[in-house]
Structure 1
Amino acid sequence: MDHFLYRDGELYAEDVPVRDIADGVGTPFYCYSTATLTRHFQLFEEALHGMPHLICYAMKAASNQAILTLMAQLGAGMDVVSGGEYARAIAAGVPGERIVFSGVGKTRTEMRQALQGGVRQFNLESEPEMEALNEVALSLGVVAPVTVRVNPDVDAQTHAKIATGKSENKFGIPITRAREVYARVAALPGLRAVGIDVHIGSQLTSLEPYRQAFEKVADLTDALRADGHEILRLDLGGGLGIPYLRDNQAPPLPLQYGALIKEILGDKGCEIEIEPGRLVAGNAGILVSRVIYLKEGEGRDFLILDGAMNDLIRPAMYDAHHDIVPVMEPVAGVAQRPFDIVGPVCESGDTFARGRMMPPMGAGDLVAFRSAGAYGAVMASEYNTRPLIPEVLVQKDQFAVIRARPSFEEIIERDTIPPWL
């Protein structure tokens, strides 16, 4: 469900015509819906109702301060993977005790930052990281709350670049070594184990990989408790997929996901932590771009947009599909024809879609990329000295620019010329 719908012949974001935003802000730009963000977060609250839980928004999906502030007001914790994300979460008003610090390469500086500012737990990924955190905690005279991320060797049945739960992936420690590693944690005076962490990948469209992983976590919980460890929390990660409107994908609903958690882990007496990102933000955002040229090629036609791969890297990086729709609603029954939809960057990879069926389009027309709210703006760059594009947040009939487009001068002035030049 989202709040980007046609009304009176044109696409609206909640109660704001997308065309009005384009006229006021210029293209390309990202646009997010407050109502959709709120609804998607609440779906997880409903899914876990009746059991102790904390929903930690995975802010790597979309980390604008306005979105984080909204999440904080809804009661979310935050899942962060860098010192910068930690600083963003704190700045958005999220208390340290609601921040989970994940990631395979935490530095000592980041560990110190979180221990001094407050943190719910560190999700440890390796034994060298465990030793480093112990040293930092002891140097500060504190004890760091930790979980160990276990790798259950489960195939998430997702894109290889976003799978994290197989033995060949870089994440976590083998679940077969978990009891040994937890014994080591217990021997380190600067660490206190508070639970178990598992995360098997992103954009999962089936519950079966979750079932396999959760059953292994349930068995591990019993084994670790038998070894004398206090297991209070189970951090189950995120990764639930969203429909990208291709091949009739129908990922599981949050309520089904929650029911599975209750079925397998509900009798463990643990607080459940989950870290949704894509499902909260993905369909809550669109990328709006304008057609620069319609180019007729040899055997194919091109729609050349003012948006490019530096604005939305997912199609080039993951072969990701996004539904692309005209902002002005096509006349019912109008003939469509195939276009390659591309950007202006001098790379063949700057292609959003090949052979995509579209109604008649021309220079100046607006298009919207659906399901662009997650891993869009956060992965953007200034390649080709193309400014980072604005982000806009809509609430009912209002919209606000929540990140402005920098000028060329602002981009250039960030560079420093050494004195010998």
Structure 2
Amino acid sequence: MSSDLNLPNGFARQAGSLFCEDTQVSDLAEQFGTPLYIYSQTAITDAFLTWKQAFGDARHLVCYAVKANSNIAILRLLASLGSGFDIVSGGELERVLTAGGDAAKVVFSGVGKSPAEIRRALEVGIRCFNVESSSELYLIEKIASERGDTARISIRINPDVDAKTHPYISTGLKENKFGVNAQQALELYRYAQGASHLQPVGVDCHIGSQLTEVAPFVESVQHLRDLVLQLRKSGINIEHIDIGGGLGIQYSDEAIPSPSELISAVRAELDPLDAELMIEPGRSIVGNAGALLTKVLVEKAGDTKYFAVVDAAMNDLLRPALYSAWQNIVEVSVTQGSEKNTYDIVGPVCETGDFLGKERSLSAREGDLLAVMGAGAYSFSMASNYNTRPRAAEILVHGSHTHIIRQRETLSSLWQDEQIPEALL
């Protein structure tokens, strides 16, 4: 397969050079250095609006999953488009607020919310807590009571549905740590209905990430539909149904359902309930809007294969090492007739698992630039300083304009919070 196959929205090749919108990618590398994350503002906007349009005339709220990419410039862009936000920590809540997001459009997911996080969420008036256990529900009730508040809650259902994705990002099976089963949920809803400081307003489900089929979504929402009908018979009013996120993106040539295909199938099951529909996409909004630029440091011939050692590493892009994930890697500049070899693209980190791609047919001479596509989600947000490597800068591209939305870390900043005891001075 050609590495240029299916370049995503926001990226194109012109006269051999890779462009992000109207900006030549090699110019970005020269100006800002490598490794470098670049994002297309137009691609992010288009992806979000595609989700909005997919709902048609249905009442809905698209809540961007902040964990996918939490840069405050991207959050501000999405807030300006009317996005809600799905958060999983107090830190993500503060990022949303700093970016100008509306707390009343925030849903708080996650299995381990701390008392301080719950208090802060109540203080700013978030839309809803997605509750994942009885202990969490009682803790939210206790803190709401202490504050004289009423906490709006939704119970996250674990439907025991196989999302057919990597086991590390499957969240809807009974052996996963997320959510509760339908019987437990009924008991928790009945408890919440009778509690003075809890208000049950929704049901929630999220079965996994990088899903490539509609069928698991449909199966999960059928569980939600049945539960809502039971709750309403019991006099518990459910205002919204949150189907979670997880729709995949095209990293290679896999077939991915469109948002409209997914929502059409979901509405067929849920429209009779006349509830507001909520969804929590992350990767499908920002994933293909980003790329990681890297420079070839060393072209190395091993005993059995060629290696292209680049200046990006597993600390910049963890997915290949963590999930054996495949992401397209392309040359930033293509020269007519240039010789290609089959390389493993590896970083300088001292781990055998430090690779960005294996068995790639590329022209990758020393000093050449490569772009790892599909790096807008779970790339910078999972980056680390392993091997005392500064995290790379982030650039937002809009047409021919470029904006630094995160400066490259300096070496000295990596140990600024560390101290040497006086006894060692």
Q: Which residue of 2 aligns with 1:342?
A: 346
Aligned counterparts of 1:418 and 1:181: Cα–Cα separation in 2: 50
Query: In the TM superposition, what whole-angstrom CA distance separates every residue of 1:201-259 from its partner, at most 9, and x where no partner exists?
Result: 100000010111111111111111001101000011100011111xx301110010110
Pick from 264, 270, 281 the counterpart of residue 265 of structure 1.
270
TM-score by length of 2: 0.96
C-alpha displacement of 1:176? 3.2
Q: Which amino acid is 2:244 matched to?
A: G
SS at match of 1:2: coil
C-alpha contact 1:147 1:196 (8 A) present in aligned 2: yes
Which of 16, 28, 35 is the matching residue for 1:9? 16
SS at match of 2:50: helix
Helix, strand or coil at the partner of 2:272: coil
Residue 361 of structure 1, CA deviation: 2.0
Q: Aligned AA for 2:152?
A: P
Matched, 1:303 2:286: no
Q: Residue 176 of structure 1: SS of its match in structure 2?
A: helix
Selected match of 2:255 from 226, 235, 250: 250
- Structure 2 counterpart of 1:412, from 407, 410, 415: 415
Q: Which residue of 2 aligns with 1:288?
A: 293
What residue ranges of structure 2 are gaps of 5+ in the alignment?
1-7
Equivalent residue for 2:94? 87
Residue number among 357, 360, 366 corresponding to 2:361 in the alignment: 357
The alpha carbon displacement at 1:371 in A equals: 0.5
The 5-angstrom pairing of residues 17-166 of structure 1 reads 17-166=24-173
Pick aligned residue for 1:327 from 316, 332, 337: 332
Structure 1 distance, partners of 2:334, 2:131, is 49
One-letter amino acid of the counterpart of residue 86, structure 1 = L
Superposition deviation, residue 410 in structure 1: 1.9
Output the amino acid matched with 1:139.
E
Paired AA for residue 211 in structure 1: V
Find the aligned partners of 1:419 and 1:88 in 2 and give their Cα distance: 36
Provide the aligned length of Structure 1 versus Structure 2.
417
Match of 2:241 among 218, 234, 239: 234
Provide the secondary structure at the position in 2 that maps to 1:352: strand
Unaligned runs of 5+ in 1: none
- Decide whether the 8 Å contact of 1:95 with 1:118 is kept in 2: no
1:335 Cα deviation from its structure 2 partner: 5.2
Secondary structure of the structure 1 residue equivalent to 2:286: helix
The answer for the alignment partner of 1:381 in structure 2 is 384
Once the two structures are aligned, what percentage of the paired residues are identical?
A: 43
Kindly provide the CA deviation profile for residues 270-315 of structure 1, in whole angstroms up to 9, marking residues without a partner as x.
0111000000010000000000010011021100000000000000
CA RMSD of aligned residues (A): 1.1
Q: Distance in 2 between matches of 1:300 and 1:9?
A: 27
